[in-house]
Structures are given as C-alpha cells and as structure tokens.
Amino acid sequence: MERKKNILVLCTGNSCRSQLAEGYLRHFAGDRADIYSAGIETHGVNPKAVQVMAEDGIDISGHTSNHVDEYRDVDFDYVITVCDNAKESCPYFPTKAQKFHHNFPDPAKAVGTEEEINGVFHHVRDMIRDYAERFVREQLN
C-alpha cells in the first residue's frame, strides 16, 4: 500500500487561511494524507476562522498555531503556500516537496461592520474549500 502523503500548508501567521485549508484538506483527503499547517510567525488560531468552519460542519477548534520550524524533520510531499508573503519568505524551507501556491485574501484584514467582516470570512472560506477539494482530486487520486 502506498504511504500516506504529507502536506504542509504555509501562511504568514498560521491563524486564518492556512487553518481553513488544513481543515478542508483533512476533510477531503481523509486517510490518504497527513495535513499540517504552519506560519513563518504564529498569531494563534483566529476565532472567526473556527466559527466559519463550524458553520460548514468542520471543527478546527482544536487546531494550534505552529511555526514552520517545528516541521523541519517531516518529509513533505506537497507544500502549499496560501499567501504571497509566505511564498516569498519561505524559499529556505528544505524540501523535495512539490510546491503549490495560491494567494488568498486575508480575511483577518477585513474591515467594516460585523456582517461585512463575516461576509469576507465566508467568501475566503468558500474559495479555500474549492481549492482544497480540487487539490485533493487532482493530486491524491
């Protein structure tokens, strides 16, 4: 049997986008992959990210905000950067992994009313869900 794939999702702070992506990749990949997420800084998991995922039936409340250095010894098959800052700041990451990049807007930077901010979180969540579903379909099947 083929070994499980190791997938790392990288972002600046490992608080929103990479957490959403980790949640959806776990959901869609099931037991075909081990999913990790990390940041080049750690900002803690954003409560709104937890909330919008729960609304879609995925619990990421147990996720932690991890620094990329914690995973130096993991042999990754795929590294996905989900913001331009991470892509530009992480070329030092020593890996033979295939690299993928998709710059998603940062919902944590949303401004406006509570309703407007929630709208941005939902929009980014849905973009990431579509990306994660497509990634699993194209790379893990």
Q: Which residues are catalytic?
A: 11, 83, 90
CATH code, domain with 114: 3.40.50.2300
What pLDDT score was predicted for residue 26? Answer: 98
pTM over 0.85: yes
Section 87-98 average pLDDT: 68
Whether 24 shows a pLDDT value over 90: the answer reads yes
Enclosing domain of residue 69: 5-139
Section 77-104 average pLDDT: 80
What pLDDT score was predicted for residue 123? Answer: 97
Number of compact structural domains in the chain: 1
> What b/e sequence results for 94-126 when a residue is b if at least 16 CB atoms lie within 10 Å of its CB, and e otherwise?
ebebebbebebebbbebeeeeeebbebbeebbe
